[in-house]
Structure 1
Amino acid sequence: MNGIITHPAKVTKVTGATVEVKILAESACASCRVRNKCGMGESREKLLVVETPEAPFFEEGEAVEVHTDQVMGLKAVFFAYMLPFLLVLTALLILLQTGSREVVAGTVSLCILGIYYLVLYLFRSKLSKEIVFKIKKLNT
């Protein structure tokens, strides 16, 4: 891997400085080593909003390529999957070790998971500034 994750996409909407694209999961995803971690394996299409000053130069229906650094992809996997797993597991183990009943420990752990995803949702604008996608036109 060259450190860049790319996906072919199609522009669905252009608004101001943003371009909304539909990422198309194609056969290239089958050979990708991180396909199960990025979530592209679960469905055929994903919508993504890319902020770019070049937005007015894109047109609806245009074929484009969306890319990001591999580090950004790993950061997204960490926040979406690894950190919540570690939070639930840690809470569960601590509660069980302190003598809580299994039902209570499980319920509290799931509540912590819900709170984590709520906080993640509330800070989505800050996270969207950290995990940056870029877009470029395909030469057809």
Structure 2
Amino acid sequence: MSEQITHTGIVKKLSNQTIIVGIINQSACASCHAKGACSAADMKDKEVEIHSFEGNYTVGQQVTIIGKTTQGFKALFLGYLLPFILVLTILIIATALGTNESTGGILALSSLVPYYFILYLFRNKLKKSFEFQIKPLQ
């Protein structure tokens, strides 16, 4: 059995096929007593769309969102690691072809535009591979 990631959230919207749950993503320092004096504290309100669920839920109900850790690794790979490899590869190729450093850097960074555009185009297909489960908070 794979490990799971859980977050507590509140049901924001309901429809027949989806539930939208708002979760507050906090960094470790967001709950610190000195967060007012520190600029590193951040809290982000995120929404998670859940398509397959059982039971009845109401708006405002507290729930637990459950996801697999493999989904987190996949998101990390697609969002950070693969773009880094792409930029590094293009920078190395551009340098090997004899372009100057600034042109190679611009080429490498501009390669991110089509990469993230392709991710955007496949967002619905990717959304299906990031499925979360929901259960009432007890």
| Matches of 1:70 and 1:4, distance apart in 2 | 5
Unaligned runs of 5+ in 1: 32-40
Matches within 5 A, 1:96-107: 96-107=95-106
Query: What is aligned with 2:47?
Result: 47
Post-superposition CA distance 1:50-76 (Å, at most 9, x none):
11243x711111100111111111111
> Which of structures 1 and 2 has the bigger CA Rg?
2
TM-score when scaled to structure 1?
Answer: 0.81
What is the aligned-residue RMSD (CA, Å)? 2.0
| Matches of 2:106 and 2:121, distance apart in 1 | 23
TM-score when scaled to structure 2?
Answer: 0.82
- Matched residue SS, 1:92: helix
Post-superposition CA distance 1:19-50 (Å, at most 9, x none):
11111235xx639xxxxxxxxx8533211111
Kept after mapping to 1: 8 A contact 2:20/2:50: yes
Amino-acid identity (%): 37
Matches within 5 A, 1:94-133: 94-133=93-132
Kept after mapping to 1: 8 A contact 2:53/2:133: no
| Matches of 2:93 and 2:42, distance apart in 1 | 33
Kept after mapping to 1: 8 A contact 2:87/2:108: yes
- Matched residue SS, 1:57: coil
Unaligned runs of 5+ in 2: 30-40
Aligned residues: 126
